[in-house]
Structure 1
Amino acid sequence: NNFTILVSYFTLAAYFDTGLFKYLFLMIVMSLYLLIICANVLLIVVICLNRSLHEPMYLFLCSLFVNELYGSTGLFPFLLVQILSDIHTVSRFFCFLQNFFLYFYGGVEYLNLAVMSYDRYLAICCPLKYNTQMTVNKIAILLIITWFCPLLLCIVMVSLSNSLQLCGTIIEKVYCDNYSIVKLSCSDITINNIYGLFITLFSIFCPLILIFYTYMKILKICFSGCKQTRQKALSTCTPHLASLLNFSCGACFELLQSRFDMNNLPNILRIFLSLYWLTCQPLFNPLLYGLNLSKIRIICKSLVFAEM
């Protein structure tokens, strides 16, 4: 295209006419969102109010649950409005705002999981040094890095995308994402591509390298240690690895769908794959950690039975 247009709204083209089924989809999405809110808020309250859970591992978990609430809030209210609407458009401002919300959520998620793996590494591989290494100041610094670095990166990313000259308004998704907006540009996107690569390296590959390194050390200790050491490692590391695998699979689906032509796949499958990393992780994590970590499980059971 040799012309630019002043884009004030975007059209989300992945939605299709569902007739009366839209009320069924509305109830499913609303139920999922309410379940996510209840599960994550319950665990945040449990960790904050119980002094026995004021340990580094549980504080990092609390940060993770706060991020699940944040990420799901960036998607679900928007989905509910779009499901009810007959015209699937979104203003430029809200499109870029959602873009920021979702990428910030993804960046915090990976860094949080990396910090948790470092904490498990110190606890299992250096137990005698753990209390001196994992101080209150260090916990605060790690949490600041986890939230502040993705914040800065996403502000720059959205600013770069917002400065592009656009020649189209149609986004082939059910929500706004950065790469779909960049593809609509008719100006040079070299800087955006380079910065996108930088964000991918910093937000995904650097945390994954740290996680891989720490788990190699943990596995080495497990195979050479006693049965009790192996059981302790398995009980605390299994939920973390399951969470990492689940989120990475979802992010991988989304990355592949953004970069490659998936028009040969059924529309409903493409929608499911693009939503997987934003819907399953916020629901998966509280259930996973709530059921697997004995301290949290016991306190949650006592709260539930106390109410009954």
Structure 2
Amino acid sequence: MDNLTFRYNILLVEGLKITPQSTYPAFVLLLISYVFIMVSNIGIVTQILAEKSLHQPMHILFCHLPLNDIMGATALLPHLLRDILTDPSERYITYVECVIQAFFNHLYGTTSHTVLMIMAFDRYVAINNPLRYPTIMTNKMMVKLSAAAWGVAIVLVGILISLSVRLSHCRSVIQNHFCDNASLFKLSCEDVIVNNVYGLTFTVVLFSSSIGWIFMTYLKIAIVCLKGKNKATNSKAIKTCSTHLAVYVILLASGFTVIFLHRFSAHSENRKLSSVMFHVIPPGLNPVIYGLQAKEIRQKIVKLFRNKVNSK
């Protein structure tokens, strides 16, 4: 391999700084986490798609969340598991693979917000306009909401990554444990002000839109609940919304932690750890929260488990 090929096509990933004594425990912990994420999320999606009684807008829209979690975990964890067992001087990745990984990592974070936004809209319509809910949340509407959630994320992330791919690069080391947009444009010796401006605008718009939308929908839901006299209906609405809100708060806290630690170079290892947790905690907790809180899903899972036990 000549230097030119190495310089432009093969990159060295800095990776996590793990002591030799912690290598295998860290590998086993991440492997267990990845297996749990895959099994639980695939299980939830399979259960919803297999049971006709669960073919409701709320559950169908929720399917996008575990699918996105599977994508996010797969974009990072397999590469990270490989790198943990690889000597730091041999943690190579091709430039094309790095770009693909960066795209899917950012797509995961962005789609997490857009999917939770359309789920909030579903809850808003169900509680504020229960009589019109069947006519509003039609199959056509669900397709539009789903397309919007993924389409907006793909376009925004596509522009973000394209701005970095257009740059020539004079460095060959990814100063991170995985590829993201910042890692890509830091490879360049060109002026990256456009990348920084778009990246900052992208983050501000995404978070402000997400927080604003969730706050507005839940404020209107709270007003309806306070004005309503049916305690049973209000209790059901609060229980349903609390599940969605819990998932959103976990996502928000995980995302803000990564962004906050980006501002402090002295905490680079803590930042790396927090970004790993961003790909582990929400995907691991989301199916548990929804599986336990959503009555219909919980009943189907319990029934399936009992049938398997009785069959033995």
Considering the TM-score relative to the shorter chain, is it more than 0.5? yes
CA offset digits 1:266-298 (Å, max 9, x no partner): 83x333212121110110100000011111000
Q: Give, in whole Å, the separation in 1 of the partners of 2:272 and 2:195.
A: 25
Tell me the distance in 2 between the aligned counterparts of 1:202 and 1:15: 30
User: Larger deviation: 32-41 or 229-238?
Assistant: 229-238
Higher deviation after alignment, 154-163 or 110-119: 154-163
Mapped partners of 1:247, 1:223: distance in 2: 27
CA contact (8 A) 2:258 2:271 kept: no
Match of 1:74 in 2: 75
Give 1:234's match in structure 2, choosing from 233, 238, 241: 238
User: The residue matched to 1:7 in structure 2 has which SS?
Assistant: helix
Farther-moved stretch of structure 1 (243-252 vs 154-163): 154-163
| Pair 225,262 (structure 1): closer, same or farther in 2 beyond 3 Å | farther
Cα distance in 2 for partners of 1:197, 1:28 equals 33
Aligned to 1:107: 110
- C-alpha distance in 1, partners of 2:17/2:182? 22
SS at match of 2:189: coil
Partner residue in 2 for 1:261: 264
- Contiguous gaps of at least 5 residues in structure 1: none
Deviation at 1:253, TM superposition (A): 1.4
Q: Is the contact made by 1:111 and 1:146 (CA closer than 8 Å) also made in structure 2?
A: yes
- Aligned: 1:159 with 2:180: no
Q: 1:188 aligns with which of 177, 188, 191?
A: 191
Match of 1:30 in 2: 31
CA RMSD of aligned residues (A): 1.8
Task: Name 2:297's counterpart in structure 1.
Answer: 296
CA distance in 2, matches of 1:172, 1:273: 16
Q: 1: distance between equivalents of 2:187 and 2:239? A: 47
Residue equivalent to 2:136:
133
Provide the TM-score with structure 1 as the length reference: 0.92
Contact 1:150 1:203 in 2 (8 A): no
Q: How far is the alpha carbon of 1:50 from its aligned partner? A: 0.8
User: Matched residues in 2 for 1:188 and 1:19: separation?
Assistant: 39
Matched, 1:243 2:247: yes
Contact 2:292 2:298 in 1 (8 A): yes
Shift of 1:6: 4.5
Contact 1:114 / 1:208 at 8 angstroms: preserved in 2?
A: no
1:17-65, Cα deviation, whole Å (9 max, x unpaired): 5225322211111111111111001110110011111111000111111
Contact between 1:13 and 1:173, CA under 8 Å: does it hold in 2? yes
Aligned to 1:120: 123
CA shift in 2, pair 1:169/1:257, >3 Å: farther
Structure 2 segments unaligned to the other structure (5+ residues): 1-5
**Equivalences, count:** 301
Read off the aligned partner of 1:56 and give its amino acid letter. P
Equivalence for 1:178:
181
Aligned-partner Cα distance in 2 for 1:191–1:271: 25
- What is the deviation of 1:164? 1.4
